[in-house]
Amino acid sequence: MTLQTCLLLAFFLFAIGIYGILTRRNAIGILISMELMLNAANINFIAFAHFRAEDATAGSVFSLFVIAATACEMAIALAIAITVYRRHGHLDVDELRELRDPDV
């Protein structure tokens, strides 16, 4: 277990998350893939804090803030998802195009 292997794992998870974001059509599926990417970023924080940092505590505190911000973001995003579902009856992002310019 070195810094490189940890970063490798995080990059793999990040790439998988990007694939998920680009292939999902359900809005909640996109949110789930986004969670994967945020998780990968957090792994980077902890890995660098463990292997390199002069101040490991600061790295841990930083990833705590990331976790809290993610919880906020998820609460808002899911509230928006519920509102969209109530208004449209589905969460298919390909069909949600009310703001699109009709001329284009």
Partner 1 sequence: MDLIPFKDLLFCATAVVMVAAALLTVLAKNILHSAVALICTFFGTAVLYFLLSAEFIAVAQVMVYIGGVVVFVVFTILLTSRLGERVQEISRSRKIVAFVFSLLVAILAFSFLRELGMVLQEQTEDFATLAAIGKRLLSPDETGFLLPFEAISLLLLISLIGAVSIARIPSDDKNEEAK
Positions in 50-79 near partner 1 (CB under 8 A): 50-61, 63-65, 67-76, 78-79
Q: For residues 29 and 20, is the Cβ–Cβ distance under 8 A?
A: yes
**Measured from the CB atom, is 79 or 103 closer to partner 1?**
79
Q: Rounded to whole angstroms, how far apart are CA atoms 34 and 78? A: 13
Per CB under 8 A, does 34 bind partner 1? no
Place of tokens 């990833």: 63
DSSP 8-state symbol, 36: H
Per CB under 8 A, does 43 bind partner 1? yes
**Measured from the CB atom, is 88 or 103 closer to partner 1?**
88
